[in-house]
C-alpha cells in the first residue's frame, strides 16, 4: 500500500490529510457547545473595559502575564479561586498566556486599586522593588480607541448573541445589565462616563485634564479592564 | 538525448536563501535584546525613552517568535524545497515557465507579507494568539503565499520524471497540508468593520480589527491545537524533510531503513495532532482532553526517535566523517538535539511535571534546545550543503564553519541549562509553603532569584547569534570569493576551503 501511495501523490496527500485531521475532529468538536456557556455572574465587557482589553492586547501583556489560575493550593492562595470555564465565555480572544514572567492577573481586580495601577504602570520597580517589568509611560498620553471596541461589541452581540442591553443573572440573585450604545457617539459617551469614575481616583493631572476634555488616555481604559478582572 | 545530468534552476532557492539569512539575523538579534531586557530591565529603553513603546519586551516578543518561525524557518523550508524538490523529482524549474513564475511570485508576496507583519507587530496590531498574531488582512496574504507554495509543490510533482516520491517530499507535502488546515481554522475571525450600529453607522473603528470566532476555553483549545502543531509542521516535519535529503547526500550513505522511515512518517502524522492538549494541563479544558494530550505526547517519542535513530544509523560505519566534516557535525548534533528535545517535551507533558514546569522558563528552554539545536543547525547545514551547488563555488572556510559550530553549541548548552535551573527554581518557589501553610515566597522573590540565569541565557543567545553572523559571512564569502568548482567535485562531501 505504501509503495502504491508513494507513486500517487493525490491519494498520498488525501491519506496524510485524513490522518492529521482525525485528532482535531475527535478532540475539538465534541465540547464546543458546552464550554462556552457563561457561569452565573459573568458579564460582557463594558465599552471602556473592552477598550482597555485592546490596550492589554496591543501591548502584549499576555506575553508575561497569565489569566489562568490552576487548581493548586499554592495558586488559589496567591491569586484566588481557580478558573472556571464559563468565566471566559465572553473572552475573544482568550488571554491565558503561556508564561508567567509576572504574576497571574485573572482576579487582579480583587486586590489591586486604580491608584496602585497608576503608579505601577509608570514605574513598576518604584512600586515593587526588584521588578523587571518595564514602565509604560506612553499609556498616559496615547488616546484609547473606543470606536474599535464599540465595533467589536456590535459584532459579538450580532454574531454570538453576547447579551448587551439585557439583564444577566448575578450570584446574589439580582441581575445586571451591561449597556451598549446605539451609536458611536453614545458608545463614546458611555465610555467617558466610566472613564470619569476611574480618573477621579487617579493623580496624574494630564490624565485628569484629558478626561475632563472628553478624551480617554489608554491608561484609563486599561485600568478599567484590570479592575473588571475578578 | 545526451547522457548528462539535469541542470537544475536555483533562482528561487537563492532568493529564499537570502531571506533565511536576513530574517535569521533579525529574529535572533531581537531574541538577544529580549533576553537582556529580562536580565537588565534598563535595556527596554535602549533606543531612548521616546521609542520605548516599540523597544520594550512585550511589544518585541511577538516579533522575535514570528521572525524566527515565519521568517527564518519558513524561508529555510522554502529555500530547501526549491532545491530539494527539483532534485528528487528529477525535473528542473526551468522546464516550466509557469512554475518559475509561481516560484518568483511566491517569493515576492512572501517578502511583502513579512514587511507587513513587522510593521503591524511594532505598531501593536495583534490578535494576541501566539504565532497567529496577524490580523485578517495579513492572514489573507499568508493564505495566498501558502497556496502558491502548494502550487509549486504539486506543480513540480505533476511534471516529475521520478515516479516514486522520495521521503523528503512526503514531509514537504505534510508541511503544506498541516499548516494549511491549522492556520485556517485557528484564524477564523469576523472583521469588526462589518458590524453596523442600530442607527446604521458602519465601518466603525479600525478597519483591520477582527474578533475571534471562538470564545474562552474553546479559543484556547483551537489555539493550542494550532500552536503545538505549528511546532509540528514548522519545526519538525519540514526539518525532517531536510535531514532525509541532506544527510545521505552529504555523507554519501544510504538511509539506514526504509521501513523505519515509513513507521516514523505515518506515526508522526497520526500522533502529533493529539498532543496539543499538553499546553492546557490543569486549565478549564475537559480532563479527558488533558489526559489525551499527556498520553499522546509520550507516544510521540516513538516516531520522533524513529526518524532520529534512522539518521544516526545512516552514519553507521562512517563515523569518521563526523570528526572530519563540520557540516556533518551540524546534522548529527541536530539529530541528537532532536532526540533530546523530543524526550524533554513528553517529560514536561506529564501532569505532575507540568504542574511545576508550566508558565516557567523551563518551557522556554525546551523550545530553544529544539529550535537552536535542531531547527537552526539543520537549516544552516542545508544551506551550507546547497551553497557550493547553487553558486558553483567552494564553501569559503571550513575552519570558520568549525569555529561557528563550537561557539553555537556552547551557546545552546548555556541557554537550556540556565533555563532549566531558572524554570525549576521558580516552579518550586511558587508552590513552596512554610510550616504554617502560608506561601513561602512573594512573587517578586521568585523573579529576582532568576537574574543570574537570565544573564547566562542572554550570553548563550548572544553566542548563538555570533555564530549565525559567522555563518552569514561564510555564505557571503562563498558567493563572492570562494574558489570556483567543477561539476566533478560536487559528488558527496561539499568542497570547502581551509
> Distance, in angstroms, between B178 CA and closest chain A CA?
7
Residues in chain A with CB shorter than 8 Å from the CB of B447 are 101-102, 130-132
Beta carbons of B300 and B342 less than 8 angstroms apart: yes
Quick one: average pLDDT of A41-56? 97
Ranges of chain B with pLDDT below 70? 1-4
B192 and A21: CB-CB below 8 Å?
Answer: no
Query: Rounded distance, CA A4 to CA A223, Å?
Result: 62
Residue whose C-alpha cell is 533606543: B47
Residue A59: partners with Cβ closer than 8 Å, 6 or more residues away: A136, A139, B58, B59, B124
- Is residue B212 less than 8 Å (CB to CB) from chain A? yes
Specify the pLDDT at position B126: 96
Say whether B163 and A7 touch across the interface (CB within 8 A): yes
A34 pLDDT tier (thresholds 50, 70, 90): low
Any A CB within 8 A of B410 CB: no
| Band of residue A69 on the pLDDT scale cut at 50, 70, 90 | very high
**Nearest CA distance, B53 vs chain A (angstrom):** 7
My answer on whether omega of the bond before A93 falls inside 30° of 0, hence cis, is yes
Task: With CB atoms and an 8 Å threshold, state whether B194 touches A91.
Answer: no
| Contact predicate B74/B239, CB 8 Å | no
Q: How far is CA A57 from the centre of its chain?
A: 8
Burial class (CB in 10 A: 0-12, 13-18, 19+), B480: exposed
- Distance from the B220 Cα atom to the nearest Cα atom in chain A, whole angstroms: 6
Residues linked to residue B433 through DSSP beta bridges, in sequence order:
B439
Residues of B within 8 A of A96 (CB-CB) are 220, 283
The domain of B478 spans 378-498
**Who among B57, B163, B218 is closest to A32 (CB)?**
B218
- Answer yes or no: CATH 1.10.760.10 is held by domain A43-228: yes
pLDDT band of residue A33 (cuts 50, 70, 90) is: low
d(CA A161, CA B410): 55
- At B280 the pLDDT is 95
Say if CB B177 and CB B254 are below 8 A apart. no
Q: Which residue of B has its CA nearest to A162?
A: B215
Q: Tens digits of per-residue pLDDT, A178-221?
A: 999 999 999 999 999 999 999 999 999 999 999 999 999 999 99
The number of domains in chain B is 1
CB contact under 8 A, A24 and B181: yes
For A148, other C-beta atoms within 10 Å of its C-beta total: 20
Q: What are the boundaries of each domain within chain A?
A: 2-30, 43-228
Q: Does B126 touch chain A (CB under 8 A)?
A: yes
Classify residue B349: in a domain, yes or no: no
| Interchain proximity A20–B181, CB inside 8 Å | yes
Beta bridge partners of B492: none
Question: How confident is the model at residue B1, as a pLDDT?
Answer: 47
Candidates B61, B177, B221; nearest CB to A20: B177
Residues 6 or more apart in contact with residue B381 via CB below 8 angstroms: B246, B250, B327, B330, B331, B334
Q: What would the pLDDT profile of A161-172 be if each residue is shown by its tens digit?
A: 999 999 999 999
DSSP 8-state code for residue B338:
H
**Contact yes or no for B286/B226 (Cβ under 8 A):** no
Is the confidence metric ipTM above 0.85 for this complex?
yes
Amino acid at each position: 500500500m505504501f509503495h502504491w501511495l508513494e507513486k500517487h501523490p493525490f491519494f498520498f496527500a488525501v491519506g496524510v490529510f485524513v490522518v492529521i485531521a482525525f485528532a482535531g475532529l475527535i478532540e475539538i468538536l465534541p465540547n464546543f457547545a458546552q464550554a462556552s456557556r457563561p457561569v452565573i455572574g459573568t458579564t460582557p465587557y463594558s465599552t471602556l473595559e473592552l477598550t482597555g482589553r485592546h490596550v492589554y492586547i496591543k501591548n502584549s501583556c499576555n506575553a508575561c502575564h497569565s489569566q489562568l489560575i490552576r487548581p493548586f493550593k499554592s495558586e488559589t492562595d496567591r491569586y484566588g479561586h481557580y478558573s472556571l470555564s464559563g468565566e471566559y465565555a465572553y473572552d475573544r480572544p482568550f488571554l491565558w498566556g503561556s508564561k508567567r514572567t509576572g504574576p497571574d492577573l485573572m482576579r487582579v481586580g480583587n486586590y489591586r486599586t486604580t491608584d496602585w495601577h497608576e503608579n505601577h504602570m509608570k514605574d513598576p520597580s518604584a512600586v515593587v522593588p526588584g521588578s523587571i517589568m518595564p514602565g509604560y509611560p506612553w499609556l498616559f498620553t496615547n488616546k484609547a480607541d473606543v470606536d474599535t471596541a464599540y465595533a467589536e461589541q456590535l459584532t459579538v452581540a450580532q454574531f454570538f448573541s453576547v447579551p448587551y442591553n439585557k439583564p444577566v443573572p448575578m450570584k446574589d440573585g439580582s441581575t445586571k445589565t451591561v449597556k451598549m450604545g446605539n451609536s458611536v457617539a453614545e458608545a463614546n459617551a458611555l465610555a467617558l462616563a466610566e472613564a470619569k469614575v476611574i480618573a477621579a481616583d487617579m493623580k496624574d493631572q494630564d490624565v485628569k485634564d484629558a478626561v475632563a476634555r472628553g478624551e480617554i488616555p489608554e491608561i484609563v481604559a486599561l485600568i478599567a479592564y484590570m479592575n473588571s478582572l475578578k | 538525448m545526451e547522457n548528462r545530468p539535469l541542470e537544475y534552476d536555483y533562482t528561487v532557492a537563492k532568493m529564499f536563501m537570502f531571506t533565511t539569512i536576513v530574517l535569521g539575523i533579525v529574529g535572533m538579534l531581537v531574541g538577544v535584546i529580549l533576553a537582556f531586557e529580562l536580565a537588565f530591565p534598563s535595556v527596554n529603553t535602549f533606543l531612548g525613552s521616546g521609542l520605548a513603546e516599540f523597544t520594550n519586551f512585550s511589544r518585541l516578543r511577538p516579533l522575535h517568535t514570528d521572525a524566527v518561525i515565519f521568517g527564518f524557518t519558513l524561508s529555510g523550508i522554502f529555500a530547501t524545497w526549491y532545491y530539494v524538490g527539483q532534485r528528487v523529482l528529477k525535473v528542473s524549474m526551468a522546464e516550466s515557465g509557469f512554475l518559475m513564475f509561481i516560484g518568483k511570485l511566491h517569493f515576492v508576496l512572501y517578502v511583502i507579507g513579512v514587511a507587513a507583519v513587522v510593521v503591524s507587530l511594532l505598531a501593536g496590531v495583534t490578535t494576541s494568539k501566539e504565532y497567529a498574531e496577524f490580523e485578517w488582512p495579513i492572514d489573507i496574504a499568508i493564505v495566498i503565499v501558502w497556496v502558491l507554495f502548494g502550487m509549486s509543490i504539486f506543480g513540480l510533482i505533476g511534471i516529475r520524471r521520478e515516479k516514486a516520491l522520495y521521503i523528503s517530499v512526503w514531509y514537504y507535502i505534510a508541511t503544506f497540508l498541516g499548516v494549511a488546515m491549522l492556520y485556517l481554522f485557528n484564524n477564523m475571525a469576523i472583521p469588526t468593520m462589518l458590524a453596523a450600529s442600530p442607527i446604521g453607522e458602519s465601518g466603525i473603528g479600525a478597519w483591520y480589527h477582527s474578533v475571534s470566532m471562538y470564545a474562552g476555553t474553546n479559543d484556547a483549545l483551537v489555539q493550542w491545537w494550532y500552536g503545538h502543531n505549528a511546532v509540528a509542521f514548522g519545526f519538525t516535519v519540514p526539518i525532517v524533510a531536510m535531514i532525509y535529503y541532506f544527510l545521505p547526500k552529504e555523507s554519501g550513505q544510504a538511509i539506514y531503513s526504509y521501513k523505519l522511515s515509513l513507521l516514523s512518517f505515518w506515526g508522526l502524522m497520526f500522533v502529533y495532532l493529539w498532543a496539543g492538549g499538553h499546553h492546557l494541563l490543569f486549565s478549564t479544558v475537559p480532563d479527558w482532553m488533558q489526559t489525551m494530550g499527556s498520553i499522546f505526547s509520550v507516544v510521540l517519542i516513538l516516531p520522533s526517535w524513529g526518524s532520529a535513530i534512522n539518521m544516526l544509523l545512516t552514519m553507521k560505519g562512517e563515523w569518521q566523517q563526523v570528526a572530519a566534516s563540520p557540516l556533518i557535525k551540524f546534522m548529527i548534533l541536530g539529530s541528537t538535539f532532536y532526540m533530546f528535545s523530543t524526550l524533554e517535551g513528553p517529560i514536561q507533558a506529564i501532569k505532575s511535571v507540568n504542574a511545576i514546569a508550566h508558565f516557567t522558563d523551563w518551557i522556554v528552554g525546551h523550545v530553544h534546545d529544539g529550535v537552536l539545536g535542531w531547527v537552526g543547525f539543520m537549516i544552516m547545514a542545508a544551506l551550507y550543503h546547497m551553497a557550493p551547488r547553487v553558486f558553483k563555488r567552494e564553501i569559503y572556510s571550513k575552519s570558520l564553519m568549525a569555529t561557528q559550530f563550537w561557539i553555537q553549541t556552547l551557546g545552546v548548552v548555556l541557554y537550556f541549562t540556565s533555563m532549566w535551573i531558572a524554570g525549576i527554581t521558580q516552579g518550586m518557589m511558587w508552590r513552596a509553603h512554610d510550616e504554617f501553610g502560608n506561601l513561602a515566597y512573594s512573587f517578586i522573590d521568585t523573579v529576582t532569584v532568576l537574574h543570574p540565569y537570565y544573564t547566562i541565557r542572554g550570553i548563550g543567545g548572544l553566542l548563538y547569534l555570533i555564530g549565525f553572523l559567522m555563518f552569514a559571512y561564510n555564505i557571503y564569502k562563498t558567493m563572492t570569493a570562494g574558489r570556483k568548482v567543477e561539476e566533478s567535485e560536487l559528488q558527496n562531501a561539499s568542497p570547502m576551503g581551509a
